[in-house]
Chain A
Amino acid sequence: MQVLRRAALRVGGRLLSSVPAVLGVVVLTFLVMRVLPGDPAVYFAGGPSAGQEQIDALRVQMGLDKPLPVQLLTYLRDIARGDLGRSLTTGQPVVVDIAQRLPASLELTLTALLLALLAALPLGILAALRPGSAVDHLVRFLCTMGVCMPTFVSGLLLVYVFYYLLGWAPDPTGRIDVFAASPPEITGFLLVDFALVGDGEGWRAAAAQLILPSCTMALFVLAPLARMTRASMLAVLGGDFIRTARAMGLPGWRVILVHALRNALLPVITITGIVFSTMLGANVLVEKVFSWPGVASYALDALQASDYAPVQGFVLLMASIFVLVNLVIDLLYGLADPRAAG
């Protein structure tokens, strides 16, 4: 009970203390959008050739004729009501757009993160167990490749090899084959929805669509995770308590997995949080290459169209996710390390 209350207090405190940061981000984005060249009224009136009257009418309708502080206040009031404005490109409320597209981005990012962790942890552990060996060098090479290749290059390479040459992967456009039936919308995560309705074939099709883009992203973040695992494992393996565990005759796998890995994971948890947040924002290239209907490509399109509301909504979303992820990492850390929980 006491523990739960303390945890709740901590969560509340953390959320409260992140309000200024989120607010700052919102205001900054708002200002930056206004400073950027390009007039949305002109853009949506159909270009500079449209009549001045038409443009002015649009401007009044969008509230752009009011002074900046008033616009900002109006915007903040709308946010407080849960209204992020309306996208002029799609004609829908931004909240609806984002709600439709966020699951796609999340599904892609989470799958990629899972794949990256599944690859990075064993690679990092292997490299740490034999520092300087061939395995270590191979891991270092893989990581370097993953980092130094831009995601659109590695993405296109994967498409070229697995779709064009080998034909193993399906047509790399979107989350699901255009002719296939979508599952009923329950969570928005296709894999979960297909699994919930028990559609095995649909699940496989969705997974096949997902595998290339998520591999592309996983490759990109493999390096920080694997390198961190290796460094952290090396440090822990040199620790006194590992020597104690060996001196007490514990089996080798137990020493490595129970004693070394659990301690080595602590810094990896922190890095995972950072990596996840970066992935969510930075996967725009992957979404573009694979025509993935995610939030990042949505924001990019809006940015090009000087469509303020979706961009501001996207930044607000990212800031909130960042806060949430950091909070989760914090709580995880408290669970994993009794010293941090105090």
Chain B
Amino acid sequence: MTTPLLSVEDLRVSFSTRRGTVEALRGVSLALPAGGVLGLVGESGSGKSVTSLAVMGLLDRAGRVTGGRIRFDGRDITRAGPRELRGLRGAEISMVFQNPRAALNPIRRVGEQIAEVLRAHRPLTGAEARKQAVELLEAVRIRDAARRAQAFPHELSGGMCQRIVIAMAMACAPRLILADEPTTGLDVTTQKAVMDLLATLTRERGMAMLLVTHDLGLAAQYCDQVAVMEQGRIVESAPPAALFGTPRHAYTARLVAACPRRDSTIASLTPEAPPRPAAAPRKAPAPGTSPPGTPLLLEVQNLAKRYPDGTVAVDDVSFTLQPGESLGLVGESGSGKSTVSRLVTRLLDPSGGRILFEGGDIGGIPARDFHRAPQRRGVQIVFQDAGESLNPRFTAFDSIADPLRTLDGLRDGAALQRKVEDCAEDVGLPRALLDRFPHQLSGGQRARVGIARALAIEPRLLVLDEPTAALDVSVQAVVLQLLDRLRRERGLGYLFVSHDLNVVRMLCERVIVLRQGRIVEQGESTRLLHAPAEAYTAELVAAIPHFDPSAAPQAAVACS
């Protein structure tokens, strides 16, 4: 066997924090041959990003390599000095980051930024570098490259910014590209375009790629070897077909199960949980089963939201929701799905159309007066980022008690205490955690606080705006199960906003696909996902990176 391009042997990295030293990597070994694609998957905190940063020598001040070796092309670069690193970075090893817009300097033109990388490693004049920068922009399929080179990052879309970062990374034809969550936060169709581009370019130019991602589907589709990380260790490494088809390690099995797939159900997300008998009659409160005469829980007619600057966020959207029904709202960023959720919860004023809640028009009540309306108690919302949407100065108890205090007028005392504890118990939040502040809770615990807060005053309609988007898959699995159970127990109606079609399919009976503020397609969720009627829906479905254990070998072949 020839020497691998990159080999990491028993790498140990620790961070000194206020609470002592934290070991981030506890002996990571991996090898990446020239031209190969290695996927590094794992959940947050598993050390996958730390591994890639350690290779680049980009650990922040608190981080330190305490043991092991990093070899690039046979050369030990574990403790390379600044001069040596500067020669390597960009020229031999390059990196593509998460959140491309932030990864670019906001006040410099993108063309300049690419030219700067070129000039840092090659003796070029400014004009030559600028010309090559435009060529690179063309290589990453940016139309009208010469004009785009003059743009600032904020004038470009997220996908476009990522192409520019890729162009920077490719500029000096490095032999290794480290891609750290390169498509997290991008829409699925953009993600597909960016990943295809990255895969094609690295293959054409014979570059090796280390793809760090939390998305198993992405790793399965684009890598020829995948390593699974957990708590600073690599627990398993194998070609994707074998890894996802027959995981040998218990953690891999758990991770694979927790990943929503085309055929997974809410119950199958956690393998160790006993199969829920209640999972089958999920459709008990299906549309039409409520006794005749019951008013619709929610009826939206020709809803529209236009902003003074002419942007149309929502245009002529109509749908209905039965009591106890769960309706999914999917679409890419800018499709208006979050705007719809904010209009329904009356945080925004619509510019047209009607919103009927249990037969009563709530669309006419101005947003700033809605908190006094009697219907306010019936509608609650769970926000995307549980960490950002909790008051950092409120304990979990205060957050859950807040709606009880303001909407139910409960005073501090035994009744409030009991009510909050009941709510916490319902969402599986241990009572001992109620005194903690948001920053002392894990992502999953924060999500539970957010859900408990929404449920505290027993609403009939719960609007969920991407409640699991910021969570790891295993946590997402548990939260989804929780949401499903709560809905069945309480007969809640859900308006579930998500960009993840698989999640929506599991949780919702019906789905609405939005695009640019308009409804593209709506229908029964399983049908919509398996036999979409509209081309756009089909495109969305096709863009989801998936790994069906049976289909995985094909995917691996396709990308090698």
Contacts and interface: CB of A to CB of B under 8 A. Distances in A.
A237 to B, nearest CB: 10
Question: By CB atoms of chain A within 10 A, which of B87, B88, B107, B117 has the most?
Answer: B107
Interface stretch (A57-65, A213-221, A246-254): A246-254
A249 B97 contact: no
B120 A262 contact: no
B94 A247 contact: yes
Interface in B154-180: 154, 165, 168-169, 171
Interface stretch (A69-77, A110-118, A171-179, A331-339): A331-339
Contacts of B85: 249
Given A239-B102, A240-B97, A251 B86 contact: yes
B90 A248 contact: yes
Contacts of B104: 241, 244
Nearest to A250: B120
A20 to B, nearest CB: 25
Question: By CB atoms of chain A within 10 A, which of B87, B91, B94, B108 has the most?
Answer: B108
Given A247-B95, A248-B90, A339-B152, A241 B103 contact: yes
Interface string A245-278: 1111111101000110011000000000000000
A258 B82 CA distance: 18
B106 interface: yes
A195 B45 CA distance: 64
B107 A250 contact: no
Interface string B60-88: 00000000000000000000001001111
B497 to A, nearest CB: 27
Interface string A298-342: 000000000000000000000000000000000000001111000
B86 A240 contact: no
A243 interface: yes
Nearest to A132: B61
B89 interface: yes
Question: By CB atoms of chain A within 10 A, which of B95, B102, B103, B121 has the most?
Answer: B103
B385 interface: no
Contact of B106 (A241, A243, A245, A247): A241
Interface in B130-172: 152, 154, 165, 168-169, 171
Interface residues of A, number: 22
B58 interface: yes
B90 A243 contact: no
Given A243-B58, A248-B168, A339 B107 contact: yes
A236 B106 CA distance: 11
B490 to A, nearest CB: 42
Given A244-B165, A249-B121, A338 B107 contact: yes
Given A248-B169, A249-B88, A243 B103 contact: yes
A247 B116 contact: no
A262 B105 CA distance: 10
B105 A263 contact: yes
A79 B48 CA distance: 70
B82 A263 contact: no
Given A248-B168, A249-B90, A240 B107 contact: no
A254 B82 CA distance: 14
B44 interface: no
Interface in B448-497: none
B99 interface: yes
Contacts of A246: 58, 89
Nearest first, the 4 closest Cβ-Cβ pairs linking A and B are: A249-B90, A249-B89, A248-B90, A240-B102
11 contacts: A240-B99, A244-B104, A246-B89, A247-B94, A248-B94, A249-B85, A249-B90, A249-B91, A250-B116, A252-B82, A252-B86
Given A247-B56, A249-B91, 17 more contacts: A240-B102, A241-B102, A241-B104, A243-B58, A244-B97, A248-B171, A249-B88, A250-B117, A251-B120, A258-B116, A259-B105, A263-B105, A263-B107, A336-B107, A338-B154, A339-B107, A339-B152
